[in-house]
Structure 1
Amino acid sequence: MERLSPAQIHLRKASAALAHSNEQVLLENLNAYEQMLYLLARHKKDLKAIASMEQRASYKKSILHHYLPWIEGALSAGNGKQDNVLMTWQVWAVDCAEYHLALQIAEYAIHQELTLPDGFSRSLCSMLAEEFADAAKKAQKVQKPFEVSYLLRVDELTKEKDMPDESRARLYREIGLLLETAQPETALNYLERALTLNLNVGVQGNIKKLRKQLNKADTP
């Protein structure tokens, strides 16, 4: 471990204090949106130093409280302006399993035709379909519950929007799988639709099983 002389310790403390004071001056000269972008940039820098996706998600959840007042204000104001702080949290909310918040933002963002910030390659609707589908798929693989209502809400919000067929097929696949037991007929409809959109979506076995089950139930 590096041992510092009293002079070096003093210099580091003085440098830290100076950096903090410069930051305060900078922030005072920024408007509220610019201040939030500045905070977001700092947190993005911290995230780059984290390799684990699990730890990244945990970090995002831990900093959410810094942004909630801004997010709630943006949603209630409803001015329709592009907001990269809000739209970054559109993605991050899914990442850290804040699904209700993600859907709140999505409803507003889709209605106002907002876009994801630079650096995100997918469209908003494609991202929602894929990320929610992936979250449901992961939960099922580790035998954890996942609310199908989240996926149904994504479907409702994006039904009339354009996205790659493969993205929608992934969403429909997970809806169908989650509904297999409780609503087999509805599940079959979603799985058949998923297969129509993407022949490689991997639901042929489930479709065959459900058709057999439903045909048997209809037999006197």
Structure 2
Amino acid sequence: MTSPARRHRDKVEARIAARNAAAVAPAADMTAPRPPRAGRPSLAARKAARAAGEAAAGGVGETAERLQGALAGLAAANDNGAAPDRQPSPETLERLKMAEAKRRLKALQSREAKVDLKRELLEGFDPWVTGLLAGIERAVAADRDYRAPADDVALNVLIWRIDVGDLAGALPLFELALRHDWALPPNFHRNLVVFVVEEAADVALAELEAGRGADIMSLMTIEALTGDRDMPDEVRAKMLKAMGREFARRAELPPAEDDPQPSAQRRARLEEAVGRLARALELDPACGVKTELARLRRTLAKEEDPPPRASEADAPPPVKSKPSQEPPPGDA
């Protein structure tokens, strides 16, 4: 019978023998390919995925095509050869285009150069905006209570349209944003209504300062859309100031040849100018319209004085009759 001490010694010797055998065994081949871990993509797949990310940094017009090519490489690199489970949606591709557009704008320092580039880039987003407006219109037609989620690309297009002075082009998106309660990105300090009203007024005032006319129809549409919206008095006064000055400018334009009542049209424009500038002065006494308002009021007063009737103004003065030289009857 083996004693406990002998059994313990046999175990120790077995451990020492196993350790020595491992020490003299040939080293494993570290250059052999390691099988991929479960759930981890292969190296080729990871490279293709990185190429897809780099494709997003290409030119705006080529981003979608380059991304699709990279995704094709990713599909080929998959172990089973199948396409990725999640293909990029059209929304993702448009966001990639917008991200690249912003990167190009950020590289510029000149404000004028940025405006020129925005004007060029906006054309590339027209198909997306047109499709978005049509899709939301169909959804609203099917369900009046439908509320479209905010679209970052559309909001940026709205902002850029105003930046380049295209107020008419911004209006459809502005109406859409108001109807569906969209908000500007968090980095904006003003809400959507205040931003659009103030920036549109600044665009109009800059056009007037440069001797050009403002887009009065777009300004009146914005005024109608935001008439019951809350905003600082100074912002509303700026919009009224821009509209009043445009009406005053139009009052001085030569009347159209086919205008049957040119004086009535001039008077109506003066009244619009005086009314809006007076309201602007009430909301913001420091808005800078006091002098021109007084001048326009004097001009309007002259226009309202009724001119003398043509029959009275053009009639020759009455001719005094000379006394008759004939003696009165009975004196002959």
Into which bin does the TM-score normalised by the smaller protein fall? 0.7 to 0.9
Q: Which is greater in Rg? A: 2
Shift of 1:21: 7.9
Distance 1:20 1:126 in 2: 39
Judge conservation of contact 2:237–2:280 (CA < 8 Å) in 1.
yes
Residue aligned with 1:121, SS: coil
Aligned to 1:199: 285
Shift of 1:97: 2.5
- Report which of the two has the higher share of helix: 1
Q: What letter corresponds to residue 289 of structure 2 in structure 1?
A: V
Judge conservation of contact 1:115–1:124 (CA < 8 Å) in 2.
yes
Distance 1:58 1:209 in 2: 38
With structure 1 as the length reference, what TM-score do the two structures score? 0.85
Q: Report how many residues are paired.
A: 203
Question: For residues 26 and 210 of structure 1, do their structure 2 counterparts lie closer, same or farther at Cα, with a shift above 3 Å needed?
Answer: farther
Distance 2:99 2:115 in 1: 17
Residue aligned with 2:242, SS: helix
Residue segments in structure 2 that go unaligned for 5+ positions in a row? 1-49, 56-66, 73-85, 137-146, 252-265, 307-332
Residue aligned with 1:196, SS: helix
Aligned to 2:211: 143
Distance 2:235 2:305 in 1: 36
Residue deviations 1:190-216 (CA, integer Å, cap 9, x gap): 111111111111110111012112222
Q: What letter corresponds to residue 198 of structure 1 in structure 2?
A: D
Distance 1:98 1:21 in 2: 34
Residue deviations 1:144-190 (CA, integer Å, cap 9, x gap): 22221121111011111111111111100000000012401011111
Question: For residues 26 and 119 of structure 1, do their structure 2 counterparts lie closer, same or farther at Cα, with a shift above 3 Å needed?
Answer: farther
Residue deviations 1:114-151 (CA, integer Å, cap 9, x gap): 11122222111111111111111111111122221121
Matched, 1:43 2:101: yes
Distance 2:231 2:191 in 1: 8
Aligned to 2:302: 216
Q: What letter corresponds to residue 75 of structure 1 in structure 2?
A: L
Greater RCO, 1 or 2 (C-alpha within 8 Å, sep 6+): 1
In the TM superposition, 1:44-83 aligns within 5 A as: 44-78=102-136, 80-83=148-151
Q: What letter corresponds to residue 177 of structure 2 in structure 1?
A: A
Shift of 1:19: 4.8
Judge conservation of contact 1:169–1:198 (CA < 8 Å) in 2.
yes
Distance 2:213 2:112 in 1: 18
Judge conservation of contact 2:52–2:71 (CA < 8 Å) in 1.
no
Distance 1:144 1:102 in 2: 20
Residue aligned with 1:195, SS: helix
Question: Residue 237 of structure 2 is aligned with which of 128, 153, 169?
Answer: 169
Distance 2:222 2:237 in 1: 13
Distance 1:185 1:109 in 2: 33
Question: For residues 39 and 215 of structure 1, do their structure 2 counterparts lie closer, same or farther at Cα, with a shift above 3 Å needed?
Answer: same
With structure 2 as the length reference, what TM-score do the two structures score? 0.58
Residue aligned with 2:243, SS: helix
Shift of 1:99: 2.1
Residue segments in structure 1 that go unaligned for 5+ positions in a row? 1-17
Matched, 1:101 2:169: yes
Judge conservation of contact 2:162–2:199 (CA < 8 Å) in 1.
yes
Distance 1:39 1:107 in 2: 24
Residue aligned with 1:114, SS: coil
Distance 2:202 2:183 in 1: 21
Matched, 1:185 2:271: yes
